[in-house]
Amino acid sequence: MSKKLSQDIAFWTFRILGWLVVGILLWILGFIIYNGIGVINWEFISQGPRDGMLKGGIFPAILGTFCLIVGSMIIAFPLGVMSAIYTNEYVRDGKISRFIRMMTNNLGSIPSIIFGLFGMALFVRYLGWKGSILAGSFTLGLLVLPLVIRTTEEALRMVPDALRVGSYALGASKLQTIRYVILPTAFPNVITGLILSVGRVSGETAPILFTGAAYFLANLPSSIFDKFMALPYHLYVISTSGTNLDAARPIAYGTALVLITLVLIINFTASFIRKYFSKKHGAH
């Protein structure tokens, strides 16, 4: 075989593989959109399930997912950002920062079901919060912590050192430099990381299985100590358990579509913010 021919074969294979990945993505998205679009209407989004989960909407699940997003971000965002500031601004390349980075990576590689077990043991049983929005939010908050830290660190690293040095030269202290120079510059990228974490939280199922997700609730939760319904858990139960799986399929497709749409919006927003601000930054 000539060199040219083997190169052509190899390159065409890679090209096909590359487009295969796009094909898989389009297949999954297309399948869910095609089957789910007919189910979506105002009633589906604004009302609770009726008639043994076979009719009605998924509003409680949307609300529950929203509560989990807010709750987990209240926990993960400040902690994660401050942790990233510490490693990137205070102990930049020392042993401590290397240790923290290693631990963050390790935490990020722990499977989500382990977080579920942990949340059950610590929040639900040991601290006695029972299955609740509070327990679910804490579990998810700790789960996304590594993601928040990693994206924030990247954002901080992209701030040029010249800005730091310039700020010090003007007599600003370290804290002032962080507050008035570094954070405002890194802000768009920090927000991008935050949005990506929201995407992660909204799709996680395993950590909330035992920390308060409910199959069906007659009333909307009224406090953070109540159980909750959530989109991913709803999709799971409605597609695997129940007396009449076939009749529940439309609801499952609708739920999957809402979940996918949420993730798509989050991803597009994140990449829009990243692009918009990097252009603006480049113009300076």
Partner 1 sequence: MIRRFIEKSVEKIFAACGMITTITILLIIIFLFKEGFGLFNSPEVEKGYALCVNAANPIDYISSPDVKKIYNSVITNWSELTEYDEKIVLFRDDNKDIFDFYKEEELGDSFEEIEANIPKKVLELIANTPGMLAFVHEENLQKNIEGVKVLDKGMVNPNDFFFGREWIPTSTPAPQFGILPLILGTLWVSLVAILIATPLGIGVAIYLSELAQSKVRDILKPAIELLAGIPSVVYGFFGLVVLVPMVQKTLGLPVGETAFTASVILAIMALPTIITVAEDAIRSAPRSMREASLALGATHWQTIYKVVIPYAASGISAAVVLGIGRAIGETMVALMVTGNAAVIPTTLFAPVRTIPATIAAELGEAPGGGVHYQALFVLGCVLFLITLVISITAELISKRQHNKGL
* Minimal distance, residue 252 CB to partner 1, in Å: 7
Between residues 4 and 284, which has the closer beta carbon with respect to partner 1? 4
Say whether residue 22 binds partner 1 (CB under 8 A): yes
Stretch that binds partner 1, among 44-52, 54-62, 122-130, 164-172 (CB under 8 A): 122-130
Enumerate residues 97-116 that contact partner 1 by CB under 8 A: 99-100, 102-107, 109-116
Enumerate residues 188-217 that contact partner 1 by CB under 8 A: 199, 202-206, 209-210
Give yes or no for a contact between 39 and 257, defined as CB atoms under 8 angstroms apart: yes
Query: What tokens were used for 52?
Result: 């043994």
The site that binds partner 1 (CB under 8 A) totals a number of residues, namely 84
Stretch that binds partner 1, among 51-59, 78-86, 183-191, 218-226 (CB under 8 A): 78-86
The CA distance from 71 to 73, in Å, is 5
Of 37, 96, 158, 170, the residue at the interface with partner 1 (CB under 8 A) is 96
* Minimal distance, residue 241 CB to partner 1, in Å: 11
For tokens 């990137």, name the residue: 88
The CA distance from 253 to 256, in Å, is 5
Q: Cβ–Cβ contacts within 10 Å for residue 275, how many?
A: 12
Enumerate residues 145-174 that contact partner 1 by CB under 8 A: 145-146, 149, 173-174
Say whether residue 187 binds partner 1 (CB under 8 A): no
Pairing mode, if any, of strands 49-50 and 55-56? antiparallel
Side-chain-facing half-sphere of 195: CA atoms under 13 Å: 19
209: Cβ contacts below 8 Å, ≥ 6 apart: 116, 233
Site string for partner 1, 255-274 (x = CB under 8 A): -x--xx--xx-xx---x---
Helices (H), 204-244: 231-240
